Structure 1
Amino acid sequence: MTKRLKTILQYCLFLGLGIFLIWWSLKDLTASDRQEITQSLQKGNYGYIFPGLTVLILSHWVRALRWRLLMEPMGYTPSRANTFFAVMVGYLANQAVPRLGEVLRCSTLTRYEKIPFDKLLGTVILERMVDAISLLILLGLAMISQPYLYDSIIQTFFAGSAEKQESGSILWYFIGGLIVLLIVGGIWMRMTKRSLKDLLNATKKIGLHVWQGFITIKNLKRPWTFVLLTIALWSLYTLCVYTGFLMLQETSGFGWKEAITVLCAGSLGMIATPGGIGAYAFLVQKTMLLYQLNNGMGLALGWILWFLQTGAVLIFGALSLIALPIYNKNK
């Protein structure tokens, strides 16, 4: 199987998942739900779109500054503008193929700043690790600040199925997940004509990148600046969700606690499909059920937040593509 064909198949798989989730989130909406969504969107306060876009662009700028800090221990200090443009180009690429953006933003900065690609890739892996840890911390904050949230999750998603709440069921979920991983691994080896040794080598290579990432963060010249930028980044993401709440009358009463919960769910959706299409709105919809918001309004909120984030990426990602050769015309 050629690399191009494999990429196309992966894209079709992720896109198909997104389309399926769009259908799944719409299939149970009644005529009353659809009418309620239409009326709510018509009454929406869209004056918050510009502040929302401003918050998002500022968050992308903060991400670029934080990424730049990871390059300092290796002796590289790219311009802030080029780093920001590369981040936006990466986000733009992720709208088409998940995780392609991480590669493209590294290659973009390699081209204009002459930084070795493999070193940049290591910093991106570290950055994603820090994001994963940050997301877990936010999830913990959401559970601590909302002690009732665990019970709400059980009642919302597992009501009427008491046996699923038994501790023994966790073991079966683990076994099932392990079987799925083994099947996926077997299919991958067969499609790519790789052996078990190749799979182990790939795992070892990933582990090496992770270790290199830890070494980089250990040698940061300004570690507290990195921590502050990480806090600022996720605070801006939370503020963006809160801005989305203010756009709809039905959600304007929600606050920071709910915004953190929605942020955690939506972040997973952005990873699952190209640009989070379908998955983001679906997960926001299901999350808002925890706060007694009906399916229709939860879906409306999910699509507003998704359009806000996607619009920012499409507009400023395209502008970054145009700006890169202009900004670097003398190089």
Structure 2
Amino acid sequence: MKASLRKFLSLTIPLLIGIGIIYYQFTTLTADEIEKIKISFLKADYLFVFLSLFIALFGYWSRAYRWQFALRHLGYQTKFHNTLMSVCVSYLVNLTIPRSGEITRAALIKKYENVPFDKGFGTIVAERIVDMLIFLLFVTVGFISQFDRLYQFLLDENIQFETIIWFTIIGFVLFVLFVLVWIYAEWKIILKVKQKLSGLIEGMQSIVKMKNKWSYIFHSFFIWFSYLLMFYVTIYALPETENMSFDVVLMGFIFGTLAIGFTNGGLGAYPLAIALIFSLFGISDDVGTAFGWLVWTSQTLLTIFLGLLSYLFLPLLNKK
């Protein structure tokens, strides 16, 4: 009963937050701004939208291909179509319960390639760590390039920059302490947890020890390059955004990516984040909102299409 309630809440709370954000966003827009958003969708050049979707396919392919390096290091020769379709289904599941797709992906590769769940999931956790580090690199470049503008924004909102710095330092110190305790502590509870998570840890360590680590790193950067590029080409779909500078695009990409984790696939949160960050650079709310919804809608439809198609073909292609 508790498990069912927890699952229900994990599904409904992000969904309700997303619906609430959509309601908030559109109730703060004027009737004229909403009309402009509709016009933007009607006059958008969808050639560039489809080009962004085509670029997104390379990201799917590269993520599946990268995954095979880690699985191969653990001794599992997996079929590429199984890894690719497992990735597609996991993206679809993430639209329901945030981050639940990783569990689904590990479960699918266990079912169709007989990779133990804990090891498969460990390789996925390792992927997420690498992805987070690369994303932090994007964040660092973006924030350094726009430091003056962001600092002024914090001052305007009465947010002390020093407070953010202190929270960052404290968080980093706590993280370092946790890592040191995990590695060196001989406490019984730590040793017991390590034993329980041995398969997971082995999967996570596969990156460091694998033979093709440089190919793995290349694909990791290529995945994020494809994400940024598919976001970038979409600016040419609207005449109001086609002359946008790259630094603005980068900031939009960063904040849009952060917003995805707040609700089901970024429902509501993604367009709002795009509109807010674009407004700092003098772009009107209606244009920022239209652009955010254009990117989010097209990518979500692609995710749903590929996920459902993969869910259908996985059992068909693995008939014994």
TM-score range, shorter chain: 0.7 to 0.9
Who is 2:257 aligned against?
267
Task: Tell me, yes or no, if the aligned pair for 1:238 and 1:256 is still in contact at 8 Å.
Answer: no
Who is 1:278 aligned against?
268
Deviations 1:76-103 (A, max 9, x none): 1211111000000111111111111111
Cα distance, 1:143 vs structure 2: 2.9
Pairing partner for 2:238 from 238, 245, 248: 248
Point out where structure 1 has 5 or more consecutive residues left out of the alignment.
178-198
**Equivalenced residues, count:** 303
1:272 match: secondary structure = coil
CA change 1:211–1:116 in 2 (3 A) is: closer
Task: Tell me, yes or no, if the aligned pair for 1:269 and 1:283 is still in contact at 8 Å.
Answer: yes
Counterpart residue identity of residue 226, structure 2: L
Counterpart residue identity of residue 279, structure 1: A
Task: Tell me, yes or no, if the aligned pair for 1:93 and 1:100 is still in contact at 8 Å.
Answer: yes
Point out where structure 2 has 5 or more consecutive residues left out of the alignment.
172-188
Who is 1:35 aligned against?
35
Cα distance, 1:73 vs structure 2: 1.6
Cα distance, 1:141 vs structure 2: 2.0
Q: Does 1:151 align with 2:164?
A: no
Cα distance, 1:27 vs structure 2: 2.7
Q: Does 1:238 align with 2:193?
A: no
CA change 1:113–1:229 in 2 (3 A) is: same
Task: Tell me, yes or no, if the aligned pair for 1:156 and 1:289 is still in contact at 8 Å.
Answer: no
1:65 match: secondary structure = helix
Who is 2:311 aligned against?
321
Cα distance in 2 between the residues matched to 1:169 and 1:86: 39
- Residues 34-43 or 275-284, more deviating: 34-43
Q: Aligned ranges for residues 168-183 of structure 1 at < 5 Å? A: none
Deviations 1:270-290 (A, max 9, x none): 111112101111111111123
2:261 match: secondary structure = helix
CA change 1:257–1:2 in 2 (3 A) is: same
1:291 match: secondary structure = coil
TM-score, length basis structure 2: 0.86
CA change 1:327–1:284 in 2 (3 A) is: same
CA change 1:207–1:267 in 2 (3 A) is: farther
Counterpart residue identity of residue 155, structure 1: Q
Pairing partner for 1:312 from 299, 302, 308: 302
Who is 1:188 aligned against?
none
Cα distance, 1:71 vs structure 2: 1.1
Q: Does 1:84 align with 2:84?
A: yes
Task: Tell me, yes or no, if the aligned pair for 1:126 and 1:210 is still in contact at 8 Å.
Answer: no
Q: Aligned ranges for residues 288-303 of structure 1 at < 5 Å? A: 288-303=278-293
Who is 1:192 aligned against?
none
Counterpart residue identity of residue 87, structure 1: V
Task: Tell me, yes or no, if the aligned pair for 1:72 and 1:221 is still in contact at 8 Å.
Answer: no
- Residues 164-173 or 14-23, more deviating: 164-173
RMSD, aligned α-carbons: 2.7
Cα distance, 1:221 vs structure 2: 1.2
Cα distance, 1:296 vs structure 2: 1.4
Cα distance, 1:2 vs structure 2: 2.0
Q: Aligned ranges for residues 196-235 of structure 1 at < 5 Å? A: 212=202, 214-235=204-225
- Residues 108-117 or 15-24, more deviating: 15-24
Who is 2:162 aligned against?
167
Q: Aligned ranges for residues 30-179 of structure 1 at < 5 Å? A: 30-144=30-144, 146=145, 149-156=146-153, 158-159=155-156, 161=158, 164-165=159-160, 167=162
Cα distance in 2 between the residues matched to 1:219 and 1:206: 21
Deviations 1:33-52 (A, max 9, x none): 22322232222111223212
- Residues 214-223 or 81-90, more deviating: 214-223
Task: Tell me, yes or no, if the aligned pair for 2:122 and 2:204 is still in contact at 8 Å.
Answer: no
CA change 1:97–1:82 in 2 (3 A) is: same
Task: Tell me, yes or no, if the aligned pair for 2:120 and 2:203 is still in contact at 8 Å.
Answer: no
Who is 1:186 aligned against?
none
Cα distance, 1:238 vs structure 2: 0.7
Cα distance in 2 between the residues matched to 1:258 and 1:166: 21
Counterpart residue identity of residue 47, structure 1: L
- Residues 201-210 or 308-317, more deviating: 201-210
CA change 1:202–1:285 in 2 (3 A) is: farther
Counterpart residue identity of residue 116, structure 2: P
Cα distance, 1:136 vs structure 2: 0.2
